[in-house]
Amino acid sequence: MESFNQLLLSLDGMLGSAPWFPWVLLGVGFFFTIYLGFPQIRYFGHAIKIVQGKYDKPGDPGDTSHFQALATALSGTVGTGNIGGVGLAIFLGGPAALFWMWMTAFLGMTTKFVEVTLSHKYRIKAADGYYAGGPMFYMERRLNMKWLAVAFAVATVISSFGTGSLPQVNNIAQAMNDTFGLDKQITGGVLAILLGMVIIGGITRIAKVTSTIVPVMAVLYIIGALGVILYNYQNIIPSFVSVFSDAFNGSAAAGGFLGASFAYAFNRGVNRGLFSNEAGQGSAPIAHAAARADEPVSEGMVSLLEPFIDTIIICTLTGLVILSSGVWTEKHMNQFERADLVAVAGSYNDQNSEDVQKLFNFLSGGESDVKPYSGSVVVADGNALNAKEFTLIHARSVAEDLEFRVADDTFSGVLTVVDGKFANPNVDIWGNSLVHSVALTNKAFQRGFFGEYGSLIVTLGILLFAFSTAIAWSYYGDRSMIYLFGPKAVMPYRLVYVVAFYWAAVEDTTVIWNLSAVAIVIMTLPNLFGISVLAREMKDTVKDYWKDPSHK
């Protein structure tokens, strides 16, 4: 699994984490924002009226209402990215990452408006009797690029696992285990059965379930977040100040946090912003294609509300909870994940500025005197006897208070370390280090009016958020399978989807997140190319929409 993780990291380094990707993503959003005259501002009020049904016409073709399509698409975006993803972004990039998540959302509102409009315009009625749409249809029917459409559909199937299934249940299982001590296999098994029961019913059942879950989970989560933010009210303004002051300089080292350069915070913020709101990824158009509407622009306007709700509101609340509580710079006792662990030669202290700079350079791939440790670790009753010969780095922080265990007992013996990696998979390593993803958000929610019960809100939130995301993404995947292989391919896909959902409940969190980072980008790039080519058509389509007096 560590070898697979290294492969994913290499791919991510060439794609999502490469310096060019955030500029491409934001560049497309910026271009359309200027080209279409800031539609995310001008059409915001009109979009709300459409969702309320004020422009509905009897007999409009489609399978779901505007609200149900919005709820389904939101259920696909409002998930672990809003809870675990924000925690990961701040863990990696500090407060500055939140600023770039905002920028991704603001520009992404226009990107989503464009991709949904064009995809809805070229949707079809599939062989199973339901409407099917998405970027693959405009790529084939308008651009005459069947090869690009097939590439996008394949990427969507892969991403349905990497974005919609695997990281969702992984975070649910982790949260349930942390809060209730529930075995991850039990969580994965029960939820896999429930998932199968929902997705077999197709888009009509999916729309009914998600349109119920989304409002409930949003209200619950907002109440919990405000309970932490208001409890730490004295840190609200300093938190905002740090977000804006660090935006173009990077985040300085603080506590166990080793710091983040501008480039790193920018990249991680944009990357996690994309994971959260999926603007430009091409996933939401698949859900919106089912909406009852004969004018594609109207559904495009509905979709621009998604990044606003998803990132501007919910992700901001999560970010303020983490920043105002201060837990993002603190170390917490946890079991170390091997994919997030490396031993370096020598003794380093994160309270020493020189050591901090050396470790930061090492973790960021820059020039550094820090070298991976190779040798033995002699352990007696769980404690390393030669601890001064090496330093364990876990979750980009110096690990402390190490304890080596086998099951529930302390370990005694000799461990082998090769190039910083432990060669004894049966030995668990515990200690104090920074935490990230859901674990970080969970800690932060306990620093408010609800105390330790705050973790229950996170657990219920992640359960509803992530489960609804997995439901929505199963639909994206099966529409792509229909495009590629026809209706007969849907049921085998759903079975594999459910099995993978169970498997990911017990797999390494870091590996799951890295897989998701790669899957997102291989889906996003073809879609960004396609909508850019159709920029002129998009502008003309919007003009035609406003020619109808009933829309004003």
Give strand ranges (E) for 346-399: 375-380, 383-384, 390-394, 397-398
Beta-carbon contacts of 12 under 8 Å, excluding residues fewer than 6 positions away, are 514, 517, 518, 521
Distance of alpha carbon 267 from alpha carbon 13, whole angstroms: 11
Q: What is the pLDDT of residue 325?
A: 96
Q: What is the pLDDT of residue 1?
A: 65
* Spatial contact of 239 and 329, defined as CB atoms under 8 Å apart: no
Q: What is the pLDDT of residue 463?
A: 84
Poorest-confidence range of 35-44, 272-281, 428-437? 272-281
Q: What is the pLDDT of residue 527?
A: 94
pLDDT digits (tens, 9 = 90+) for 375-402: 999 999 999 999 999 999 999 999 999 9
pLDDT, average across residues 116-142: 90
Residue 164 burial by CB count (10 A; 0-12/13-18/19+): exposed, middle or buried? buried
pLDDT, average across residues 38-61: 89
Could you please report the per-residue DSSP string of 124-191? EE-TTSSEE-SHHHHHHHTS--HHHHHHHHHHHHHHIIIIIIHHHHHHHHHHHHHHH---HHHHHHHH
pLDDT at 250 over 90: no
Q: What is the pLDDT of residue 433?
A: 96
Distance of alpha carbon 187 from alpha carbon 507, whole angstroms: 13
pLDDT digits (tens, 9 = 90+) for 469-508: 888 889 899 899 989 998 899 999 999 999 999 988 887 6
pTM, full prediction:
0.83
Q: What is the pLDDT of residue 275?
A: 65
Which one-letter DSSP state was computed for residue 337? P
Q: What is the pLDDT of residue 9?
A: 81
Q: What is the pLDDT of residue 47?
A: 93
The residue ranking higher by pLDDT, 414 or 219, is: 414
Q: What is the pLDDT of residue 508?
A: 67
Binned at pLDDT 50, 70 and 90, residue 234 comes out as very high
Distance of alpha carbon 219 from alpha carbon 201, whole angstroms: 27
pLDDT, average across residues 31-44: 96
Q: What is the pLDDT of residue 249?
A: 86
Distance of alpha carbon 552 from alpha carbon 546, whole angstroms: 7
- Structure token digits, residue 32: 């359309």
pLDDT digits (tens, 9 = 90+) for 469-478: 888 889 899 8
* Spatial contact of 464 and 353, defined as CB atoms under 8 Å apart: no
pLDDT at 229 over 90: yes
* Cα 469 → chain centroid: 10
* Domain-wise residue ranges, the chain: 2-330+444-551, 332-433
pLDDT digits (tens, 9 = 90+) for 52-82: 888 888 777 877 888 888 877 777 677 667 8
pLDDT at 163 over 80: no
pLDDT, average across residues 499-528: 82
Distance of alpha carbon 467 from alpha carbon 217, whole angstroms: 11
Could you please report the per-residue DSSP string of 231-278? HTGGGHHHHHHHHHHHTTT-BPPBTTB--B-HHHHHHHHHHHHHHHH-
b/e sequence 379-395, b meaning 16+ C-beta within 10 Å: beebebeeeebbbbbbb
Q: What is the pLDDT of residue 143?
A: 95
Q: What is the pLDDT of residue 458?
A: 85
pLDDT, average across residues 539-550: 90
For residue 138, the SS3 value is helix
Beta-carbon contacts of 365 under 8 Å, excluding residues fewer than 6 positions away, are none
pLDDT, average across residues 203-216: 77
Is 1.10.1060 the CATH classification of the domain at 2-330+444-551?
A: no
Q: Which amino acid type is present at position 83?
A: I
- Average pLDDT of the chain is 88
The residue ranking higher by pLDDT, 209 or 2, is: 209
Q: What is the pLDDT of residue 383?
A: 96
